[in-house]
């Protein structure tokens, strides 16, 4: 398979490039005499290999391509007017030949896999590691291999699989069963749990609790509920993590490294200098930027250009995605702080004009319909009647309630596309939700309600804790999915949640009219990039996923 030869070249040269780039966290440096020949036999070179393996998570997390695959095409999001991947958002003519994001992600995840395979097969040869250091580095690489294979197998199914490094020309690809890939994921994660350190001073590296947390997610995905609950509960109880008192505090740029984060992609201390083509990251592309802050914002700077102009606090609006009406309706904003903690609904004047002073309301997007008397003549309103039709389908997709969780008011300029915001890949709240779902599946709804109520207690507005509590009789799969949407919306888990629970099609049909027009059963897998199908010589064996042309 052509891409496998390419990924070896990409991984090796990306590694050599990374060695010359110095960072404190997951740091890479270039001691004299380091070459491709000895890179996997010396600690300095092998450290750089491991760090390069981490860097590939930046192609998914905090990036438009990864967000489009993991959050779009679900019950809770639809296209803003700036959506550049509507095929993924709505399934309209989704093919392997018309979605560049799938090609980018495929190429780089297989590059990452090959780098992990190279390191795992070579770690025993590192002459200046202790036995403990070898075990730790192998644990990291095995975690990362499992992590990347999970994205691959859930996105594309039983596709090419190997645990051996590729060093020559390979023109064939295999079809490996999903069960086989998951068996390797479990093997790698168990090794990671047994060999990683419990804590780390290098923020962004994986640890025992991170490996246990991800393994809990994998157990839940494969219906191993007792195991999922045991590990999620273990992480909750034993490693010093805690839910922050206020949900909104999770998203403060001054509070990124907090006790709720189990594992994150570290953008805050490893950020490249620009968002243009660079040699700082593998294959010549800068992946040092978190771009999520751009993608969820309505075009507020088109509401009234005399009083509301683009600025740093309100962000650079790419308006790629907008919430479905169903997502907005999941929030009880009287009692639940997560609505105001997740979304922006009011924009104030940042430019004085006429009788409008700075700080006056210019735009308001309530999630209810306003009466004629409630609509102000002093500012523009976009209530649900101006955004969504009777079926819930958008009637315009430029002005709407905007996800604000990932905004970055610390950027240095209005046009700045980069953000130093870390991406929370796993946080403690997910462990409570995993434990709740596992307990529900084990017919223990009392325990499921207990775990959910821990999340809802933190989410309650002051004085509203009692109103936020649920009983065991309220627990069912749809309630848990609703709760996951309220807690985790935008955090690059939703498509996997719906696929795992068998709810992708039914919830889209009932909650997302845009996608309901096109969703089909075969959309539980994404199409394999056509470039990969064109590259292989065993085309009768390695074929496109069913349903795609």
pLDDT tens string 408-427 = 999 999 999 989 999 999 99
Model pLDDT for residues 254-313, shown as the tens digit of each residue:
999 999 999 999 998 864 433 323 333 334 333 458 999 999 999 999 999 999 999 999
> Among 417, 438, 473, where does a domain finish?
417
The rounded Cα 89 to chain-centroid distance in angstroms is 15
62 lies in the same domain as 160:
yes
Q: Is residue 426 part of a domain?
A: no
Q: Is residue 407 part of a domain?
A: yes
What CATH number corresponds to the domain at position 186? 1.25.40.390
Model pLDDT for residues 84-119, shown as the tens digit of each residue:
999 999 999 999 999 999 999 999 999 999 999 999
pLDDT of residue 170: 83
Q: Which residues, including other chains, have CB under 8 Å from residue 405's CB and lie 6 or more apart?
A: 250, 251, 341, 342, 490, 491
pLDDT of residue 450: 98
Domains: count for the chain: 2
Which three-class secondary structure state does DSSP give residue 76? coil
Query: 461-468, long-range: CB within 8 Å, 24+ apart, which pairs?
Result: 461/334, 461/335, 461/336, 461/337, 464/334, 464/335, 464/336, 467/334, 467/335, 468/335, 468/336
298 lies in the same domain as 198:
no
Question: Above 80 in pLDDT, residue 401?
Answer: yes
Domain that holds residue 32: 2-291+527-535
pLDDT of residue 167: 77
Is-contact 174 542, C-beta < 8 A?
A: yes
258 lies in the same domain as 365:
no
> Among 401, 417, 433, where does a domain finish?
417
**Length of the chain (residues):** 549
49, with CB counted inside 10 A (0-12, 13-18, 19+), is buried
Is-contact 327 394, C-beta < 8 A?
A: no
What integer is the mean pLDDT of 331-347? 97
Q: Is residue 479 part of a domain?
A: no
pLDDT of residue 40: 78
pLDDT of residue 305: 95
Mean of per-residue pLDDT scores for the chain: 90
What integer is the mean pLDDT of 231-242? 98
Which three-class secondary structure state does DSSP give residue 425? strand
Q: Is residue 404 part of a domain?
A: yes
Q: Is residue 500 part of a domain?
A: no
pLDDT of residue 275: 33
Q: Is residue 110 part of a domain?
A: yes
Question: Above 70 in pLDDT, residue 214?
Answer: yes
374 vs 66, residue with greater confidence:
66
217 lies in the same domain as 346:
no
pTM for this predicted structure: 0.92
131 lies in the same domain as 276:
yes
Model pLDDT for residues 19-40, shown as the tens digit of each residue:
333 333 433 333 334 445 556 7
Model pLDDT for residues 437-482, shown as the tens digit of each residue:
999 999 999 999 999 999 999 999 999 999 999 999 999 999 999 9
244 lies in the same domain as 346:
no
Q: Is residue 444 part of a domain?
A: no
183 lies in the same domain as 311:
no
70 lies in the same domain as 210:
yes
Q: Is residue 440 part of a domain?
A: no
Which three-class secondary structure state does DSSP give residue 533? helix
265 beta partners: 423
229 lies in the same domain as 321:
no
H or E segment and range at residue 14: helix 2-19
Q: Which residues, including other chains, have CB under 8 Å from residue 289's CB and lie 6 or more apart?
A: 62, 267, 271, 272, 275, 417, 418, 419
Q: How far apart are the first and last CA of the chain?
A: 21
333 lies in the same domain as 347:
yes
> Among 388, 417, 446, where does a domain finish?
417
pLDDT of residue 39: 67
Exposure string of 95-126, with b = 16+ CB inside 10 Å and e = fewer, is ebbebebbbbbbbbbbbbbbbbbbbbebbeeb
What integer is the mean pLDDT of 137-156? 98
CA atoms of 227 and 233, how far apart (whole Å): 10
125 lies in the same domain as 269:
yes
226 lies in the same domain as 83:
yes
Question: Above 60 in pLDDT, residue 4?
Answer: no
């Amino acid at each position: 398979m052509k891409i496998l030869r390419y990924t070896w070249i990409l991984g090796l040269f990306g590694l050599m490039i990374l060695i010359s780039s110095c960072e404190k966290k997951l740091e890479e440096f270039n001691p004299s005499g380091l070459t491709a020949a000895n890179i996997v036999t010396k600690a300095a070179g092998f450290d750089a290999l491991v760090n390069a393996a981490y860097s590939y998570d930046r192609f998914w997390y905090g990036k438009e391509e990864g967000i489009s695959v993991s959050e779009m095409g679900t019950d809770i999001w639809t296209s803003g007017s700036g959506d550049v991947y509507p095929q993924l958002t709505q399934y309209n003519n989704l093919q392997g030949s018309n979605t560049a994001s799938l090609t980018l992600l495929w190429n780089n995840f297989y590059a990452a896999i090959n780098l992990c395979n190279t390191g795992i097969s070579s770690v025993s040869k590192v002459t200046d590691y202790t036995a403990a250091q070898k075990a730790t580095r192998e644990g990291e690489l095995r975690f990362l291999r499992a992590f990347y294979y999970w994205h691959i197998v859930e996105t594309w199914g039983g596709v090419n699989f190997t645990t051996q490094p590729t060093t020559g020309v390979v023109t064939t690809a295999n079809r490996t069963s999903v069960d086989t890939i998951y068996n390797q994921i479990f093997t790698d994660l168990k090794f990671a749990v047994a060999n990683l350190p419990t804590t780390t001073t290098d923020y962004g590296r994986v640890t025992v609790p991170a490996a246990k947390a991800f393994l809990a997610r994998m157990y839940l995905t494969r219906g191993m509920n007792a195991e999922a609950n045991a590990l999620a509960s273990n992480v909750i109880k034993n490693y010093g993590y805690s839910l922050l008192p206020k949900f909104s505090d999770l998203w403060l740029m001054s509070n990124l490294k907090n006790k709720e984060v189990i594992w994150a992609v570290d953008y805050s201390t490893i950020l490249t200098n620009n968002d243009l083509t660079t040699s700082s990251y593998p294959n010549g592309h800068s992946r040092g930027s978190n771009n999520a802050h751009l993608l969820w914002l309505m075009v507020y700077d088109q509401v009234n250009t005399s009083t509301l102009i683009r600025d740093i606090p309100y962000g650079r609006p790419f308006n790629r995605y907008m919430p479905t009406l169903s997502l907005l309706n999941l929030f009880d904003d009287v009692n639940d702080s997560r609505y105001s903690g997740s979304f922006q609904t009011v924009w104030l004047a940042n430019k004085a004009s006429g009788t409008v002073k700075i700080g006056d309301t210019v735009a308001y997007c309530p999630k209810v319909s306003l009466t004629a008397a409630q609509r102000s003549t002093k500012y523009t309103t976009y209530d649900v009647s101006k955004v969504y039709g009777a079926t819930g389908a958008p009637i315009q997709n430029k002005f709407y309630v905007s996800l604000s969780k990932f905004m970055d008011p610390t950027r240095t300029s209005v046009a700045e596309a980069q953000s130093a915001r870390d991406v929370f890949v796993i946080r403690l709240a997910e462990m409570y939700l995993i434990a709740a779902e596992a307990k529900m599946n084990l017919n223990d709804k009392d325990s499921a309600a207990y775990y959910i109520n821990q999340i809802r207690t933190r989410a309650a507005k002051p004085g509203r804790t009692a109103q936020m509590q649920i009983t065991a009789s309220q627990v069912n799969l749809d309630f848990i999915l609703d709760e996951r949407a309220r807690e985790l919306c935008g955090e690059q888990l939703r498509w996997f949640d719906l696929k795992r629970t068998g709810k992708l099609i039914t919830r889209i049909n009932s909650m997302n009219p845009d996608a309901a027009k096109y969703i089909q059963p075969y959309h539980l897998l994404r199409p394999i990039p056509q470039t990969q199908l064109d590259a292989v010589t065993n085309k009768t064996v390695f074929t496109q996923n069913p349903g795609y042309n």
